[in-house]
Amino acid sequence: MSSYRIEAGTAQHIGSRAQQNDRAALFSGARAPGYVLAVLADGQSGGPIAPEQVLHTAKLVFDEFKPGDSTSVERLEQLLRDIVHESHLVIKMNGVTTGTEPHCSFVGLVITPQGQAVWAHVGDSRLYRFAGRQCQARTSDAAYLQHLLDTTSLTPDSARMHRQSELLNNVLGNVNKEPFVVTGSHEALAAGDSFLLCSDGLWQYFTDPELGAALNKNTPRQASELLINKAIERAAGKGDNCTMAMVKLVNPPKEVQNYTVQKMRRAV
């Protein structure tokens, strides 16, 4: 049994954009009691169509998931990969039908009752893992860029400019290539651990210590209000959609002992 209680929430702000293209959600497992799935998708093109499909697919796939007696990290990684690839397939099909090219990023996190955390990401949305206020892990583009260097004719100089190249864009919905999924995991979760999933409309305005301090000191709702307000301030009227999902592990409430005197029943 886990020695913590989960506090979680999602939040977003439209920023300076005309519409909100990010989506985030938290799901419980229909066939996996005690399991939690957090998902965030940032629409890169085509509006919110692709992110909404990610959330829809994530719920369908997670609802069918049965953990059994035990669940390996590899199986949980495959669960997240299935969400990515099924979403990618439907988004591409929708793009052909509508004559559009909807794209989006993806970041997902599974928390298990056995104290495991497994995550996966595609694109420039991020996941952070904190122990207290210290950042212990953070997703990045490094693995994807190394993959490109190893498998294509991309040069290191070109890789440094990857954000300016549509050909190097790692997203769901790209008709030219499959999304490159990077996974990570951590076991032996404990109270004080926390996770932040967020779009680039949030993380680009903060350092790791700032994000860790916000999550460590506050409830998810308080932390989200603080971070959104500060992101708006720092964006100075030029901010992107700002979206996040937070999962905090906190100490369970202490049991209150009942010392009420009760009348004993008569023995028969």
**pLDDT, tens only, 239-262:** 999 999 999 999 988 766 666 665
CB-based contact 121:106 (threshold 8 Å): yes
CB-based contact 102:94 (threshold 8 Å): yes
- Reading the block at residue 191, the tokens are 């109270």
Q: Who wins on pLDDT, 226 or 257?
A: 226
CA 264 – CA 39 distance, rounded (Å): 53
Please state, for a pLDDT cut of 90, what percent of the chain lies above it.
75
Q: What is the mean pLDDT of the chain?
A: 90
Query: What average pLDDT does the segment 225-252 reach?
Result: 96
pTM of the model: 0.89
Query: What average pLDDT does the segment 204-220 reach?
Result: 97
CA 155 – CA 157 distance, rounded (Å): 5
Query: What average pLDDT does the segment 45-49 reach?
Result: 91
Count CB-CB contacts under 10 A for residue 142. Answer: 9
Bridge partners of residue 242, in order along the sequence: 13
Domains of the chain, CATH where assigned: 5-249 (3.60.40.10)
Query: What average pLDDT does the segment 55-83 reach?
Result: 95
Q: Who wins on pLDDT, 142 or 239?
A: 239
CB-based contact 138:129 (threshold 8 Å): yes
Note the pLDDT of residue 99. 86
- Reading the block at residue 101, the tokens are 């090219």
CA 83 – CA 144 distance, rounded (Å): 19
Calculate the alpha carbon distances from 135 to 32, 142, 207, 209 in Å.
29, 17, 10, 7
- Reading the block at residue 86, the tokens are 């099924």
Confidence class of residue 71 from pLDDT cuts 50, 70 and 90?
Answer: confident
Note the pLDDT of residue 166. 47
Residue 155 pLDDT exceeds 90: no
Note the pLDDT of residue 154. 60
Note the pLDDT of residue 130. 98
Residue 12 pLDDT exceeds 70: yes
User: Which residue shows structure tokens 């979680």?
Assistant: 8
110-130: pLDDT as tens digits: 999 999 999 999 999 999 999
- Reading the block at residue 187, the tokens are 């076991």
Note the pLDDT of residue 45. 87
Cα four-point dihedral sign 90, 95, 98, 104: positive
Lowest mean pLDDT among 131-135, 173-177, 233-237: 173-177
Query: What average pLDDT does the segment 222-234 reach?
Result: 97
Note the pLDDT of residue 146. 65
Lowest mean pLDDT among 146-160, 172-186, 213-227: 146-160
DSSP string over the chain: --SSEEEEEEEEE-TTSSS--EEEEEEE-SSSTT-EEEEEEEEEESTTHHHHHHHHHHHHHHHT----S---HHHHHHHHHHHHHHHHHHHHHHHHHHT---EE-EEEEEE-TTS-EEEEEESS-EEEEEETTEEEEE--SHHHHHHHHHHSS--HHHHHTGGG-GGG---BT-TTS----EEEEE-S--TTEEEEEE-HHHHTT--HHHHHHHHHHS-HHHHHHHHHHHHHHHHTT----EEEEEEEEEPPPPPPP-----PPPPP-
